[in-house]
Structure 1
């Protein structure tokens, strides 16, 4: 079973073909979950191709068995899809002012900007959490996985997910600027 990992590390093309055949569904599912509604299907294909290229190029860094390989592949896919998502969002943010719809009269631009600032601040604070807690927060609140899905992916109990999220929220709530994020 682990034979394909060793062959992949020696850059055997048949091993790469095996990885693509067996893990393409997982890679596409993670990519689609993160990119959610890609404006261009080519983004999904680009991400999938980039993931398998990275696996090919970085396989010598991998150590472990097939279960670990699946987790490693999933994490590479997740981070690559997040990178593509961020690039897409950055591109959308640089569109001309003509493409931005006018504000509704009842909208308060100051409140909207405050909420955006609070969300950015929250993301920065989340990045200072311990690795597992950071993963939990990103999966729950940015990728919108359910607690059960997170527990299954990370191989921990659902109650452990819930208590870590609760303790993390309490830690983050100490920052008064972040209170808007939870309301």
Structure 2
């Protein structure tokens, strides 16, 4: 963890209001983007804004649970945002008059395909968790948080080419492992 992040975490743990404001300034757009993607089509803009507020309040209350050995403050915050947004999404979908069409229902996907898809998803999750640092961070930043190669390189203090090379190796490794195991995930560039 860099010094700037440590100072912010310490200030949050001491419940300094300016630290919460700084956290919101620094990560507000990322949290809002993730929450809005998760809640897309299920509620109003106000629901998204309320969810984002809940994320920061929860982070404020649970900052002692942050463990810098497991990832960055941003990663912790975005994981927190993901789970809070998924909870809000479930609540919104349970409200009367809220209907979401399941993509598998609309495409006529059969049960066997759904099971294979679930198995492939679990396999992918296991492979991502098996990555070492900084590859895991690069993978999450690129494919979960949709950060550009340039943003990732700047955040990690490496070149764009190094990020591109690592992403290429990760994709290649995943493709080979999936082919060995016969898992039904199609390789995408």
Task: Indicate the TM-score class for this superposition, using the shorter chain for normalisation.
Answer: 0.5 to 0.7
Question: Would the aligned equivalents of 1:30 and 1:77 in 2 still touch at CA under 8 Å?
Answer: no
How far apart are 1:111 and its partner, in Å?
Answer: 4.0
Which of the pair has more CA radius of gyration? 1
Tell me the residue number matched to 1:124.
Answer: 126
Q: Distance in 2 between matches of 1:19 and 1:133?
A: 29
Unaligned runs of 5+ in 2: none
Q: Distance in 1 between matches of 2:10 and 2:187?
A: 48
Tell me the residue number matched to 1:181.
Answer: 186
**Normalising by structure 2, what TM-score?**
0.66
RMSD: 3.7
Q: Distance in 2 between matches of 1:47 and 1:116?
A: 28
1:7-46 matches, cutoff 5 A:
8=11, 11=14, 16-37=16-37, 38=39, 39=43, 40=47, 41-46=49-54
Q: Distance in 2 between matches of 1:9 and 1:75?
A: 16
Q: Distance in 2 between matches of 1:164 and 1:43?
A: 34
Q: Distance in 2 between matches of 1:137 and 1:10?
A: 29
1:151-166 matches, cutoff 5 A:
151-166=153-168
Structure with more of its chain in helix, by fraction:
1
- Give the length in aligned residue pairs: 165
Tell me the residue number matched to 2:57.
Answer: 49
SS of aligned partner of 1:79: helix
Q: Distance in 1 between matches of 2:26 and 2:116?
A: 38
How far apart are 1:138 and its partner, in Å?
Answer: 1.8
1:33-182 matches, cutoff 5 A:
33-37=33-37, 38=39, 39=43, 40=47, 41-55=49-63, 57=64, 72-88=72-88, 91=90, 99=99, 101=101, 103-104=105-106, 107-109=108-110, 110-111=112-113, 113-174=115-176, 175-176=178-179, 177-178=182-183, 180-182=185-187
Distance 1:144 1:9, change over 3 A: closer
